[in-house]
Chains A and B, each alone.
Chain A
Amino acid sequence: MKRTLLPGLLCLAVFILLEAASLHLLSRNAQLQRLWIARGAHWVMAHSWGATQSVRSYFSLSSANKQLAQENFLLREELERSREQLRKVWTDSLQTPQHAGFSMIPAEVVKISRNKQHNYIILNRGFEDGIQEKSGIITSSGVVGIVDAVSEHHAYAFSFQNSDISISARLGREGGSGLLVWDGIHSNGALLKEMPLQARYHSGDTVFTSGHSLLFPPDIPLGIAGEARVVNGTTNEIAVTLFQDFSAIRYVTVVHNNSLEEIEQFEP
């Protein structure tokens, strides 16, 4: 093996050397060829630099992801603040009671289960970071779960892919609202239950959080409405394809309704 490889490599080296010498002579003696060789050399350099840059970028993806998640969180916080201001202006003008604001905390998913009927999520933030029980977990693609228990540095949450969880959701921005639950079969499948029969509905409508659950801010897009069926002749049940890909969750935002305790005092 060594006996055949070494002379082969030597031949290749001599070949490259002689070709390089020829190119050198050519570039020294002809203006046109000099430009042509320089262009070729630049092309090679650009491509090799491009390739190394791609490799470097690949290895820095993790930090880029973290930076983007942080940026995403800040933007979402900003958006929520703006929404809150708008809501305030709107409610002030109608002289109705003001909606409570939501506090937001960015978190990273430490563990998530996806192959059970009662799935859960563990986050890397706990009460020391300001996480409280009964907080919602969201991403830019929708609702992920609800915080159930909090330790010093971690939080345990029910995933939306849990048959015990339901979220108040609305069809379109001003359509009828119902309860959104996981269909228990598909990772991106859900059912919008208890929709009034008279509520206008079109397949392809976007489903949003309604804001009635107190755990999630309103108007978070959740998914796309599909086919509907009438249940017991009284309500519609609409299939929903969720935007959230549960297999790719890493960075989330924990939202907490600042007026939750105050509102709960009124509940029996």
Chain B
Amino acid sequence: MRQTAFWISYILLLLAQLLLSNYFRFTPYVMLTILPVMVLSISTRVNRIAVMIIAFATGLVVDLFSEGLLGLNSLALVPVAFSRDFVIRLLFGRELFSRKEDFSVQSHGWGKVALAIFLAQALFLVVYIWADGAGMRPLWFNAARFGASLVAGFLVSLLTLPVLASDSRK
């Protein structure tokens, strides 16, 4: 039941991301995305390969239905899925996987959860901005875009978290 609720939330947030990608483009310096936090919040019961495939498919859907480049979101989201286990083990402990539990703000505190989101967001943006620029944009532009997108995306992801987090699904 909890899992079904999560996947419904996941699909709704995917639609929200499509809206963000298509209608919330105010400046080239800010790229709003909640995809990293969505991938990060997938249950620890789902194995790593499945998470990577889900991330790939999610990125592809966003690329297909928004004005982006096909493959760009997938390229940036798969590394987030690949490194997700490391981040969770590092910040929340490896027993989370053995107990098949999910991280939550209640159990682990805002600090650790925020740091996990920050890391996932940063990794996504590094790959996204690097591939989007294709080596043609100056470093200062990429750096400014990364900084602004990281702050904006991080704040939006924190707002999104209650929808996905296991606390709210109990």
Contact = CB atoms under 8 A, between A and B. Distances in A.
A98 B126 CA distance: 80
B30 interface: no
Contact of A26 (B56, B70, B79, B135): B70
Contacts of A30: 69-70, 134
A74 interface: no
Interface of B: 48-49, 52-53, 56, 59-60, 63, 69-72, 74-75, 78-79, 82, 131, 134-136
A26 B49 contact: no
A33 B134 contact: yes
Contacts of B53: 14, 18
Given A19-B79, A22-B74, A22-B78, A14 B52 contact: yes
Interface in A1-47: 7, 10-11, 14-15, 18-19, 21-30, 32-33, 35-36, 39
Q: What interface size band does chain A fall in?
A: 20 to 34
Interface of A: 7, 10-11, 14-15, 18-19, 21-30, 32-33, 35-36, 39
A25 to B, nearest CB: 3
A21 B56 contact: yes
Contacts of B72: 22, 26, 33
Contact of A18 (B52, B131, B134): B52
Ranked 5 nearest A-B pairs via Cβ: A25-B71, A36-B134, A26-B71, A22-B75, A22-B74
Contacts of B74: 18, 21-22, 25
Tell me the dominant secondary structure on chain B's binding face: helix
A17 to B, nearest CB: 9
Interface of A, secondary structure class, is helix
30 contacts: A7-B48, A10-B49, A11-B48, A11-B82, A15-B52, A15-B79, A15-B82, A18-B78, A19-B75, A21-B56, A22-B71, A22-B74, A23-B71, A24-B71, A25-B60, A25-B63, A25-B70, A25-B74, A26-B70, A26-B71, A26-B72, A26-B75, A28-B70, A28-B71, A29-B69, A29-B70, A29-B71, A32-B136, A33-B72, A36-B135
Contacts of B56: 18, 21-22
Given A21-B56, A25-B74, A14 B69 contact: no
Contacts of B136: 32, 36
A11 B59 CA distance: 18
Nearest to B72: A26
Given A11-B49, A14-B53, A33-B69, A26 B78 contact: no
B71 A14 contact: no
Given A10-B49, A22-B75, A22-B78, 7 more contacts: A14-B49, A21-B71, A21-B74, A26-B70, A26-B75, A30-B70, A36-B136
Nearest to B63: A25
Contacts of A28: 70-71
A30 B132 CA distance: 10
